[in-house]
Structure 1
């Protein structure tokens, strides 16, 4: 099974780390984008310094780039990487969309925007002839498709967004869906594919937040901080966690929104850490990661470095969970 790595966003440059990850046997390298660094620019540099590893965005949001820009970006990265690029998109959070990008979150709604963005991006990339599209958000006409095959992954959580995966996408990137619930959540996608009459294989590439340390408590606290950040900042993440941990998710979110980050992290229970991440000594972490990789629907587990991890944990985690260690 391929093992992928989500490179940390907190570093100034990830190219050197990406080269090292390729040497360690990682099959795919992904990079997110929130604020401070362009994943597109960084991945272009990574593509030019690596040879065989897949690269992808996990994720760029569907608000800040038009489908035409996404299609041009995907086609360009596919070209400079010799076909190794995968486009991962998602809605991001209301906080990022409204307060950072200054855009309307409900215009008409994030799921509709995701659907039209992915559908139109696919048409621009793979369509035959000139693209014509009329939707609620986008209305375009008379530009030729780029004739490039780029897999599109969607970071969907709720049912409506998972229907977008079922109808349009090549891959699903779940995050903060408790791992014991992953198969049931994916089964809904399979059912929706059947209802839509679509016959396709969908990669499941879950974020696997991971922290490795000789001190298991330190590693687990890193995962607590990661979970608290996402549950506190995004209602979708809160709802995903709340499906298994309703009281825990509510306590984390309430503390975070009250400005008490330490209390929010403290409200992430041991059971939540076990269901939402990998944490411990090298041997413990590898065993936990193997269990997640063995889930039937999982095809590309993504070692995910929490943004709150210090450099020592970053390096140790990437080294110890690399395919070369198994």
Structure 2
């Protein structure tokens, strides 16, 4: 597979409206991919709709769209729109997301996440191919849905997958797997679950800064907000970090956020967040590739360089 080198949009330190020039320059810097996300900032699709025009030629992907927060038909419509705007270069990344995002923020029951992701994948395969779908799945039923305008080329679909069961589904029925918050050494374990022919994609948080103490302080906040989510906690248990992260989980469960942050060891921050000067950061990202990652998606964290400068410095 040709080596990809991706960038996350929007950027941490500026709005989408302020990012046009930086996004437009990504292909000339050597970035092959532009990926969005969807948490509590921008939605996943609008940034890519703009990037389809601003950065022609780049592959565009969502990493990820939750399968609970849109109905199946609306999700197919959004994907079809992007596939029409960027023929052959849009990848739809979907996943279960988390109880906080699904239930607390969007008032939707977070039930049977594996089954809902599987069912949504199977529905989208048919819908994006232009088929009329009338089918009862385990987690929902669709009656007579057909896209008014199916894309000429159906987009690839990749799954957010952290542990073996979802990784196996991604390998068996999707076009790739997306993962997050892992070290280069962790890539081998994830790769072993999906085989060599399935594309493996990962978002990698990068801070171009030689102030390691400052990066670690900021990194602990980021890690605590993710690794206390049940799916990520189970992921890192599976990766072998159960004992080293136990003090953090115990302090977090007791409501002592400061103790939880202090309990995250330096070596865990250093394993999961890339930092150092630009050359060191790029070399670290290439370690992920050497261990079996096909598509690194860089997410620059503001450090000693403003994000536009970091984007240039991290270019392949």
The reply to whether TM is greater than 0.5 is yes
Corresponding residue for 2:128?
Answer: 125
Counterpart selection for 2:312 from 316, 319, 325: 319
What is the CA–CA distance in structure 2 between the aligned matches of 1:205 and 1:182, rounded to whole Å? 10
Provide the residue aligned with 2:220 in structure 1. 224
Q: What corresponds to 1:2 in structure 2?
A: 4
SS in 2 for 1:166: helix
Q: 1:114 is matched with which residue: 112, 117, 133?
A: 117
Corresponding residue number in structure 1 for 2:201: 205
Q: How does 1:105-184 map to 2 (within 5 A)?
A: 105-106=110-111, 109-126=112-129, 129-144=131-146, 146=150, 148-184=153-189
CA RMSD, Structure 1 to Structure 2 (Å) = 2.4
Q: 1:134-177 deviations in whole A, cap 9, x for unaligned?
A: 21122224344625320111111122222321222111111124
Provide the C-alpha distance between the structure 2 equivalents of 1:136 and 1:154, rounded to a whole number of angstroms.
Answer: 18
Match of 1:282 among 264, 278, 289: 278
Query: What pairs up with 1:36-55 in 2 under 5 angstroms?
Result: 36-55=41-60
Q: Shift of residue 261 of structure 1?
A: 4.4
Secondary structure in 2 aligned to 1:161? helix
Q: Within 1, Cα distance between the matches of 2:311 and 2:259?
A: 28
Change (3 A) 1:241 1:132: same
Question: Paired residue for 2:75?
Answer: 70
Once residues 304 and 258 of structure 2 are traced to their aligned partners in structure 1, the CA distance between those partners, rounded to angstroms, is 21
Give unpaired runs (5+ residues) of structure 1.
191-199
Query: Over residues 75-127 of structure 1, what are the superposed CA-to-partner deviations in whole Å (9 max), with x where a residue is unaligned?
Result: 11111123321111111111111100111112xx1111010011111111126
In structure 2, the residue matched to 1:60 is: 65
- Contact 2:9–2:47 at 8 Å: present in 1 too? no
CA drift at 1:20: 3.1
Task: Report what 1:240 is aligned to.
Answer: 235
Q: 1:15 touches 1:42 (CA, 8 Å); kept in 2?
A: no
Rounded Cα–Cα distance in structure 2 between residues aligned with 1:16 and 1:264: 39
Given that 2:126 and 2:133 are in contact with CA atoms closer than 8 Å, whether structure 1 keeps it comes out as: yes
Q: Check the 8 A contact 1:74/1:87 in 2, yes or no.
A: yes
CA distance in 2, matches of 1:279, 1:311: 11
Distance 1:211-1:94 versus aligned 2 partners, 3 A rule: same
Q: Are 1:16 and 2:21 an aligned pair?
A: yes
Structure 2 residues not aligned, in runs of 5+: none
Mean Cα deviation higher: 2-11 or 28-37:
2-11
Call closer, same or farther: CA 1:214–1:238 in 2, change over 3 Å: same
For residue 206 of structure 1, give the secondary structure of its aligned residue in structure 2.
strand
Give the deviation of 1:254 after TM superposition.
Answer: 3.6
Looking at structure 2, the residues matched to 322 and 137 of structure 1 have their Cα atoms a distance apart, in angstroms, of 42
1:291 aligns with 2:287: yes
Alignment of 1:34 onto 2:39: yes
Mean CA deviation greater in 111-120 or 212-221: 212-221
The 1:227–1:115 alpha-carbon spacing in structure 2 relative to 1, beyond 3 Å, is same
Is the Cα contact below 8 Å between 1:28 and 1:55 reproduced in 2? yes
